């Protein structure tokens, strides 16, 4: 038995190094343009529509409404990098970055919390971002006609 283990050890030593020296050596080739890395959120472009939460297979995007506030929480440690949320975002607020070194000691580093001030549409009752106004919403604020005319 000892002899067979010795033969196996000699075969392994003859093979040489089979792993990349990445943490202590040079970084591997950077990913290409089609690489799916960490999700990057542009909070100024997000309107809080919730489309990303509807298509996410691992359900890592949670949306809760607290009055006129919409809270969107993203747990990136559960992400499978399918890019469905990026494809469905109408405002292109979500993009995939080439960042792929996501190891961390703290789980909070992979957590994104976003709060949006929302309003309710008087016509359909759906929530929308208050900063975006179409002409009909402006008319509702100003009134259809000025009084006295």
Q: Please state the pTM of the whole predicted model.
A: 0.60
Give the residue extent of every domain in the chain.
Answer: 31-133
Distance CA 83, CA 96 (A): 7
The model's pLDDT over 85-121, given as tens digits with 9 standing for 90+, comes to 999 998 899 998 877 777 888 888 888 898 888 766 6
The CATH code of domain 31-133 reads: 3.30.70.3270
The model's pLDDT over 1-33, given as tens digits with 9 standing for 90+, comes to 888 999 998 988 888 776 766 667 666 666 666
List Cα–Cα distances, 137 to 57, 67, 120, 122, 134, in angstroms.
Answer: 35, 20, 11, 9, 5
């Amino acid at each position: 038995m000892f002899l067979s283990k010795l033969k196996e050890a000699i075969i392994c030593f003859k093979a040489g190094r089979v792993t990349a020296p990445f943490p202590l050596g040079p970084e591997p080739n950077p990913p290409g343009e089609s690489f799916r890395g960490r999700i990057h959120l542009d909070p100024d472009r997000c309107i809080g529509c919730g489309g990303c939460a509807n298509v996410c297979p691992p359900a890592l995007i949670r949306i809760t409404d607290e009055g006129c506030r919409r809270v969107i929480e993203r747990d990136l440690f559960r992400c499978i990098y399918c890019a469905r949320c990026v494809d469905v975002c109408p405002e292109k607020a979500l993009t995939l970055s080439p960042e792929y070194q996501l190891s961390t000691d703290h789980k909070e580093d992979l957590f994104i919390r976003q709060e949006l001030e929302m309003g309710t549409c008087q016509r359909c009752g759906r929530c929308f971002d208050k900063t975006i106004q179409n002409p009909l919403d402006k008319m509702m604020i100003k009134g259809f006609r000025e009084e006295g005319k």
